């Protein structure tokens, strides 16, 4: 697995432990999907303003969000080794962890799992798709043994 990390924020110190939980989370998604780990993913840690700009520029939604996923190609061809880019808003990691009563590590892991599923073609726009995606997330988080 080839992961490219870019830290452009000041909300959380990106330690080796954080890098390892992101790697472990991605590995668990790939395992759940019966995919090998011959993939490349770019993970950027950004602040609130930057993710709002990206959300506005690429999705036409002028508001902040917790995570954005940009698949490498619109066809989600899994045989390609480059899955895409994940942009994580670290301010939201801290806020949502506090709101949901769990650790920053758990929130970061969940957002990583969520975004990698998006890179693999899962979505939650329709209720049926949302049910499938949430079940996958729950199963993966259980496998990771990272609980609330």
Segments making up each domain of the chain, as ranges: 2-144
Q: Which residues are annotated as a binding site for Zn(2+)?
A: 114, 118, 124
Q: Which residues are annotated as a binding site?
A: 114, 118, 124
Confidence (pLDDT) at 142: 94
Query: Using H for helix, E for strand and C for coil, what is the string for the chain?
Result: CEEEEEEECCCCCCCHHHHHHHHHHHHHHHHHCCCCCCCEEEEEEECHHHHHHHHHHHHCCCCCCCEEEEECCCCCCCCCCEEEEEEEEHHHHHHHHHHHCCCHHHHHHHHHHHHHHHHCCCCCCCHHHHHHHHHHHHHHHHHHCCCC
Class of domain 2-144: alpha beta
Q: Which residues of the chain have pLDDT under 50?
A: none
Confidence (pLDDT) at 72: 83
């Amino acid at each position: 697995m080839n992961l490219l990390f870019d830290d452009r924020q000041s909300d959380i110190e990106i330690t080796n432990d954080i890098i390892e939980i992101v790697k472990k989370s991605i590995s668990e998604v790939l395992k759940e999907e019966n995919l090998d780990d011959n993939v490349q993913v770019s993970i950027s840690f950004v602040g609130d303003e930057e993710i709002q700009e990206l959300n506005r520029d690429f999705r036409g939604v002028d508001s902040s969000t917790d995570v954005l996923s940009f698949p490498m190609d619109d066809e989600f061809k899994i045989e390609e080794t480059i899955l895409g880019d994940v942009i994580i808003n670290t301010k939201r990691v801290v806020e949502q962890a506090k709101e949901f009563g769990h650790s920053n590590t758990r929130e970061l892991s969940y957002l990583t799992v969520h975004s990698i599923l998006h890179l693999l073609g899962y979505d939650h726009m329709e209720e049926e798709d949302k049910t499938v995606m949430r079940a996958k997330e729950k199963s993966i988080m259980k496998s990771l043994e990272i609980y609330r």
